[in-house]
């Protein structure tokens, strides 16, 4: 079990705060978050990470990257005898810009670490023990390499980034395809997550399910058609906004706006 803390105060593009390998991870509670970008990976056992109302399992061969100042806690899974991790925390004048390159919002789970990424901290641990100026430049370069490996891993696994990105992806898809036949399976295929996980991510961000958002979007589009196309039949409007049943459209419209489409038109 080894950990190195950085005592260097120089401004660098990327600079580590601490790095650890073979770490018997204990419970951490940070209601105000942490001051640095934080990478944590499970080498053996399993841990639980809590962020807001999210409860994320970090299994062996998985990693987790988090921005600074995000309230969180993590702890070993109660059913496992131990949780052994590797980690690195970092900052730097170029850190935020480079992490933007990863499309990171608040945090991201990396589900499948390839060999080069999963062994990076162990292979480069000794690099971070040295303290000369030249060595600190090598350390900055090593962190840059690590971030590029994260980017490569995300691309290879077609990773969808964080809750808000999933929400934005679904909202954008609905705005372009609302006239088509869309199901929960459509959203699942879009995000790459299971149906239940996709619904949960979207609901946590918006307070409603993707299908509810789709229905409301269609109704708002129908309202615009009724207002600006006075001669367009209601049944045709129902079809244009993606409802297969005019009677169901009428019921949903009345529930949403308090009037039937014909009453609204008058």
Among 27-36, 156-165, 222-231, the range with the most confident prediction by mean pLDDT is 27-36
Taking only the tens place, the pLDDT of each residue in 155-213 is 666 554 444 567 777 887 887 788 999 999 999 888 878 888 889 888 877 778 999 98
Q: Is the pLDDT of residue 34 over 50?
A: yes
| Angstrom distance (rounded) from CA 120 to CA 144 | 12
Structure tokens at 159: 């990773």
Q: Which residue has the higher pLDDT, 35 or 159?
A: 35
* 41 and 91 share one domain: yes
Q: Is the pLDDT of residue 11 over 50?
A: yes
pTM for this entry: 0.60
pLDDT at 30: 93
* 125 and 141 share one domain: yes
Q: Which residue has the higher pLDDT, 167 or 117?
A: 117
Average confidence (pLDDT) over 25-35: 92
| Angstrom distance (rounded) from CA 230 to CA 251 | 20
* 150 and 171 share one domain: no
* 114 and 181 share one domain: no
Domain that holds residue 244: 162-265
Which contacts qualify for 190-193: CB closer than 8 Å, 24 or more apart?
191/160, 191/166, 192/158, 192/159, 192/160, 193/160, 193/166
- Given a contact cutoff of 8 angstroms between Cβ atoms, the answer to whether 85 and 43 are in contact is yes
Average confidence (pLDDT) over 250-263: 93
The total of structural domains in the chain comes to 2
CA–CA distances in Å: residue 29 to residues 6, 18, 50, 98, 229 = 22, 18, 9, 27, 57
* 86 and 50 share one domain: yes
Q: What percent of the chain shows pLDDT beyond 70?
A: 94
CA–CA distances in Å: residue 173 to residues 97, 100, 167, 181, 187 = 27, 23, 10, 12, 9
Q: Is the pLDDT of residue 37 over 50?
A: yes
């Amino acid at each position: 079990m080894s950990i190195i803390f950085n005592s260097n105060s120089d401004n660098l593009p990327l600079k580590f705060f601490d790095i650890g390998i073979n770490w018997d991870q204990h419970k951490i509670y940070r209601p105000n978050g942490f001051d640095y970008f934080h990478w944590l990976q499970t080498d053996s056992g399993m841990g639980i990470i809590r962020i807001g109302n999210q409860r994320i399992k970090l299994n062996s061969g998985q990693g987790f990257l988090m921005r600074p100042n995000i309230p969180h806690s993590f702890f070993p899974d109660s059913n496992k005898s131990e949780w052994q991790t590797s980690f690195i925390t970092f900052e730097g004048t170029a850190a935020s810009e480079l992490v933007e390159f990863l499309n990171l919002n608040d945090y991201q789970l990396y589900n499948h670490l390839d060999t080069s990424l999963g062994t990076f901290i162990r292979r480069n641990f000794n690099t971070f023990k040295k303290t000369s100026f030249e060595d600190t430049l090598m350390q900055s370069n090593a962190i840059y390499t690590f971030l590029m490996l994260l980017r490569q891993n995300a691309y290879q696994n077609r990773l969808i980034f964080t809750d808000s990105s999933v929400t934005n992806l679904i909202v954008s898809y609905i705005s372009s395809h609302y006239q088509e036949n869309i199901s929960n399976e459509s959203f699942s295929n879009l995000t790459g997550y299971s149906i239940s996980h996709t619904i949960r991510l979207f609901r946590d961000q918006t307070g409603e399910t993707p299908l509810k958002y789709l229905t409301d979007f269609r109704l708002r589009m129908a309202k615009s058609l009724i207002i600006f196309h006075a001669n367009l039949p209601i049944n045709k409007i129902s079809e244009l906004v993606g409802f297969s049943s005019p009677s169901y459209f009428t019921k949903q419209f009345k529930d949403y706006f308090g009037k039937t489409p014909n009453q609204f038109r008058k």
